[in-house]
Structures are given as structure tokens and as C-alpha cells.
Amino acid sequence: MKIAVLFGGTSEERDVSIASAAQVIPALRGLGHEVIAVDAATGRLSGAAEQKLLTAGVAVEPPSDSVLSGMRQSALALRDSAADLREVDVVFLALHGGAGEDGRTQAVLDLAGLAYTGSNHIASATAMDKDLSKRLFRAAGVPTADWLMAPVVAHDVERLGWPVVVKPNKQGSTVGLTIVRAPQQLAAALELAGRFDDEVMVEQFIAGRELTVGILEGRALPVGEILVTREIFDYAAKYQKGGAREIFPADLPAEATSHLQALAVRAHEALKLGVYSRIDFRMDAQGDFWCLEANSLPGMTAASLLPQAARAAGIEFPQLCERICRAALATRRTR
């Protein structure tokens, strides 16, 4: 296959996207595929530019707004790379956050008639919108924590109970997220989250074990557990060495594992997600599961959660990448 790996872009998750591409590209080339690297912010990369960019790693903090703003002003890469993309069999989306994950890029690729990995533009937009996702989870019988949408005042939040989680409605990687323990902390948390989105969610905080379930071609992969020293699996814990420890399969009774996997498939189907996704949960002290969110384009380094789950199911990283590409081609043929 001839494959374009589309990555980078101008979202706060740009570094995470680059890290995914840095491993997807050599994995696919190692299987004999012809792969071109396309940064959604700067266009198709030369060999030297690819080598420099894809070895940079993920910084402790997301890229600054000033850096991203400058890139957005000059970002015409998708248009300028259209000829390159039309030459390929499939576009592998190693994008995370922003226009790469919220359906806008998918809509452009749909209009161009190109096969691409991940979910279609409607499902991508739905998964990115946490408020809408949670409404669909509830309608499908998938438990999720109570929430409110800003504007809110402390009196409104009282019914959720303290602490609460304040976060942008359409962001990933816990960017702009705060755990608020007292009314006097609420305003600052709302202001921070508002820097990253025009909608802000205030959600009941569920203490407990952090669990995740990958979905591949309609089936749940082995459940994983994320062990962190903090209360949340935040940006630094996700992307810095030693920030967290992941266990696949998670140490859960067989009945609980099956129940959680069924909930994950139900959540995936409720959002009409595509070939693959990752659904995140908390398990409280009573053993009840609460769906946190769905990831339509989960991280794709070999150490990311979805590839770890696939490996636990006997699917190595290069084969996972290839399988996702072939499924994207098959999906395009049936449309």
C-alpha cells in the first residue's frame, strides 16, 4: 500500500501527534509499505525534515498558545498537500485534538473521496464533544458521572458535590483540566478551561481505579489499568517516562472484565465510532464503572494504551497499524 501518515497540526496535542507518527511511519515501512509523512501544519516532509521532527519527543507541557497561533496563521498544508494525498491508497490519521480529531479533517477527506483511518466526521465530532457524548452514553445505558455546563456558580455545583472536575468540553490529554475542591477555586478553574474551548464542563469527580478498553473492529481488547501517583492521568503522566504504569490485562475478576468490555463496546457503538477507539473508565470503591470519555483517535506510539491492549491480545504494533489501514480501505469500498 501507499500510505500518507497525516500528523502534527496546530492543536495543543501537536507533540503527542508527532510522537504517534514517529512510530507508525517506521512500523508501516518495516512491513514494506510506501509511506509519506505529511505534517498538517507544514506539509509533506523531506527526509531530513522528517528525521528532525519525528525525533523531538513530547515536552512536559503542551505547546504554548503563541507557538500554535503562529502556526495556525500560516497553516495551508492540507490544501497544499492535496496532490500528495490523492496519490495514496489510505491516509493514516495520527492526529490528536483540534481539527484533526473533531471531524473537520475527516470531512475534508470525505469530500475528496479518500480512505482514512479512524471514524467518520460525524462520529469524530460527537466523540470530541464531551457533553454530547455523555448524553449518548446515558441513552445507551452506559453509566457516566453527573455534569453541568458553564456558566455555573458555586451554588449550582453543590448538587454534584466537591470535588468536581472542570475541563474544556472539546479537548483531550487533560489539557486545561482542574480538580476543584472548594467553591473559591471554581472561578479560576473555569477561566483556565475557557482558554482552550468556548464550552466548559463541570463534572462530578469519581475517585477510584483508572481503566481503559480498546475497541478494534467491533470487539473489545483486554482491559488495561493505569497506575499513577496523582489523582488524575494528566498530560505529564501520560507522556513523560515514568509518569504512569500500565497493566494489561488489568487485575479484575472475569465477570467484571466482561461487564466493562461490554460497556465499552456499547459506548463505542452509541457514538457510531469506526474501526477502532479507546474508551476510558473509572471504577469506584463499590466496584461500579463510570465512563469518562471516548477517544476516536487514541495515541499510537508502541507504548500507548491501545497498542498495549492489542499486544495483550497477540497483535504486535506493526500488524495493528497495517490492520487499521486495511480496515479503512475496506470501509471506504463499502460506502
CA proximity to 96, closest of 117, 111, 79, 113: 117
CB 130 within 8 A of CB 169: yes
Check if the beta carbon of residue 195 is closer than 8 Å to that of residue 176.
yes
Say how far apart CA 87 and CA 5 lie, in whole Å.
13
CATH topology of domain 2-119+318-334: Rossmann fold (3.40.50)
What residues does 7 pair with on adjacent strands? 39
Rg, Å, the chain Cα set: 19
pLDDT beyond 60 at 159: yes
Residue 75, pLDDT score: 46
Contact 178, 226 (CB under 8 A): no
CATH 3.30.1490.20 maps onto the chain at 147-204
Average pLDDT over residues 215-236: 82
pLDDT at position 52 is: 82
Higher-pLDDT residue of 216 and 238 is 216
CA distance 87 to 3: 9
Where in the chain do CATH 3.30.470.20 domains reside? 127-144+207-314
Local structure of residue 185 (DSSP, 8 states):
G
Matching residue, cell 518495516:
30
The CATH fold of domain 147-204: Dna Ligase; domain 1 (3.30.1490)
**How far is 146 from 131, CA to CA, in rounded Å?**
11
pLDDT at position 70 over 60: no
pLDDT in tens, 71-105: 554 444 555 556 678 889 999 999 998 889 999 99
Q: Which residue has the cell 525525533?
A: 55
232 confidence band (pLDDT: 50, 70, 90): low
End-to-end, the C-alpha distance of the chain in Å comes to: 20
Average pLDDT of the residues in 13-27: 92
Per-residue pLDDT for 46 more than 90? no
> Who's near 158: CB < 8 A, 6+ residues apart?
none
**Looking at residue 303, what is its pLDDT?**
87
DSSP sequence for 237-302: HHHSTTS-EEESS-S--HHHHHHHHHHHHHHHHHTT--SEEEEEEEE-TTS-EEEEEEESS---ST
Whether 68 has a pLDDT exceeding 70, the answer reads: no
Closest of 117, 88, 114, 119 to residue 102, by C-alpha:
119
Contact partners, residue 282, CB within 8 Å, separation at least 6: 206, 207, 208, 209, 210, 211, 289, 290, 292
CA distance linking residue 254 with residue 48, whole number of Å: 49
C-alpha distance from residue 208 to each of 133, 205, 225, 230, 288 (Å): 21, 10, 11, 12, 10
Query: What is the pLDDT, as a whole number, of residue 64?
Result: 59
Which residues of the chain are in CATH 3.40.50.20 domains? 2-119+318-334
Q: Which residue has the higher pLDDT, 277 or 8?
A: 277
**CATH classification code of 127-144+207-314:** 3.30.470.20
pLDDT digits (tens, 9 = 90+) for 165-198: 999 999 876 788 999 999 999 999 999 999 989 9
* Residues carrying an active site annotation: 13, 173, 239, 278, 280, 293, 295, 299
